[in-house]
Amino acid sequence: MPNKNILIVEDDRNISKLIKFNLEKEGCDAFAVPNGEDALEHLKRFSADLVILDIMLPKMDGFEVCRRIKQDPKLKNIPIIMLTAKGEEVDRIVGLELGADDYIVKPFSPRELTLRVKAILRRGGAPAAVKEVLRAGGIVLDSAAHKVTAGKKGVELTPMEFKLLATLMERSGRVQSREQLLTDVWDIAADVDTRTIDTHIKRLREKLGKPGDAIRTVRGLGYQFREDDED
């Protein structure tokens, strides 16, 4: 991650210093601010390659900061990792719905955070091996145009949701474990918490509507993209 500029938005000074220290060990340029207003001002002046954003901030919470970043045409493509003490599923879904790329619950491992930062910075939207256009189950995924339609209706996906869907469609009929998806989609070691997979799958199904039923849960194993006519 050398020369990558990362903005840390965290009001707890000890946590902020810990994150900054670990990122700088990896060669990043990390800058920390204690609130959302300073974060938005920093991004407008200097931008960033990635934002680590706490939710429980004074005055303006992380959800609002995320919303404003994603509504700004000049900032909307900056990836965001939400960082918070809140672990409820609804908070993870809200963050992802607003456009966040990942969600980490405190207390967290600095190694886990670093791995997730590396994964997001390394990714290129969709897997390198994916076909340019995939069609299955009423879903059309155009890798080159980075577009998805489900039932002939356009669907807005985050970069990570797009990559997850592309991976499942490319491996249609094959069961993918959560650990395998973490490795292939997130580029993260399998010992990291796998709940992020379940949250992304749930949100992906909701966005796709009825065609999203092709993403099936295989109890005890993982997930599988399987059309009805494959039974």
Residue 220 sits in a domain of what CATH number?
Answer: 1.10.10.10
CATH for 80:
3.40.50.2300
pLDDT at 146: 83
111 and 181 fall within a common domain: no
pLDDT at 213: 95
pTM here is 0.66
Q: Kindly calculate the radius of gyration of the chain based on its CA atoms and give it in whole angstroms.
A: 18
Using the 3D structure, point to which of 100, 122, 144 is the last residue of a domain.
Answer: 122
Domain count, the chain: 2
State which residues form the domain around 44.
5-122
108 and 141 fall within a common domain: no
pLDDT at 129: 47
Using the 3D structure, point to which of 92, 122, 152 is the last residue of a domain.
Answer: 122
d(CA 175, CA 94): 28
pLDDT at 178: 87
Task: Find where tokens 């109890």 sit.
Answer: 219
- Per residue, the 3-state secondary structure of 138-193, as one string, reads CEEEECCCCEEEECCEEECCCHHHHHHHHHHHHCCCCCEEHHHHHHHCCCCCCCCC
Q: Identify whether 102 is part of a domain.
A: yes
69 and 141 fall within a common domain: no
pLDDT at 96: 76
55 and 139 fall within a common domain: no
Q: Identify whether 185 is part of a domain.
A: yes
Strand order in the sheet with 139-142: 133-136, 139-142, 147-150, 153-155
141 and 224 fall within a common domain: yes
d(CA 212, CA 159): 17
Tell me which residues of the chain have a pLDDT lower than 50. Answer: 124-129, 231
pLDDT at 148: 95
229: CB partners within 8 A, 6+ apart: none
Q: Identify whether 100 is part of a domain.
A: yes
Structure tokens at 153: 């209706």
pLDDT at 62: 95
pLDDT at 81: 93
pLDDT at 79: 92
